Amino acid sequence: MAAARAGAAEKGLELFEHLADLTFPQRDKAKPYVLPVPCTNQLNGGVHAGNQLAPQEFMVLPTGATSFEEAMRIVTECYHSLKSVITEKFGLAGTGIGDEGGFAPPVDSIDQALDLLVEASAKAGHSNNVHFAIDPASSEFFKDGVYDLDFKSTDQLETHRCLSPDQMASLYNDLISKYPLILLEDPFAEDDWDSWTKFMEKINGRIEVVGDDLLCTQVSRVKMAKKASACDGLLLKINQCGTISEAIEAAQTAYSYGWSVFVSHRSGETIDDFIGDIVVGLQTGHIKSGAPCRGERLAKYNRLLQIERLLKERGHPVRYAGVDFRRAATW
């Protein structure tokens, strides 16, 4: 990261411009820069929250916006609306937040969580402007060949809702049909390769299937997943591979397969805003940096607002990724 910043300074460029040069050496510099869809974590569960909800992240994506600035307004209004909806149903005690700034109300089913997002987005006037995404972080509740949706419960194991991999796939398929889901991250455990492959065949490209624990931003794992047809998106976490050069190589490998790349923060974060530049430089089209809440989350979104305004002030063309964010690298 320090070397990348030094390289940008030496060339008199913004960091995102330098990263774009490194990633796309032959790119047309007159082309628009792409500002990403902010995939904002608005409900927390899993090991990142104290409720009984098994999946870790429920995200709201402002796909109907026309700029990043408008996108942040939409998700912020949805977030405040969600707080009101949760307060009405569960009282203020239900508005505590998880590690990434999403609310952690006392719900224990995926449908309950998504219904809250549906109601909140409707009350904010944004039903037609948003899609949803889920990161179940399924490795956290996969044990002995089953997915335990009550893994945080202290009740006897016999009472837990334990689903086979096929039942999990059917659950996801039902959710895709019922809700405006556009992305699933880690729907299955990192070593449950067969389930990933069968699920990809079943959904046939209807949504983006992203590997995080499955891939760990490692080129070798990306190649394995391609061979197994296990997913079609790479979650890019720059500290998983260790260097910016390796992160760029992982993204380039994913792009060579026709995959998408999804830039991510970490659950434990700082106010460093480097990934705001990398998502623009690598033209990934979408980023997750938590809720529109907490300084370490907002730092990345604020950097993207700065980049958008800087480019507009320069008169350089800018494009917001919108609903086709998966294809951003091809523009």
Could you give the residue numbers annotated as active site? 100, 237
d(CA 208, CA 42): 19
Outline where the chain has alpha helix (H).
Answer: 2-11, 15-23, 68-90, 110-123, 165-178, 193-203, 219-228, 238-241, 244-256, 274-281, 295-314
- C-alpha angle 254/180/233, rounded to 5°? 5
d(CA 96, CA 44): 10
Cα→Cα distances 60→19, 130, 178, Å: 27, 6, 16
d(CA 299, CA 307): 12
Name the phi and psi angles at 324, rounded to 5.
Answer: -95, 30
SS3 84: helix
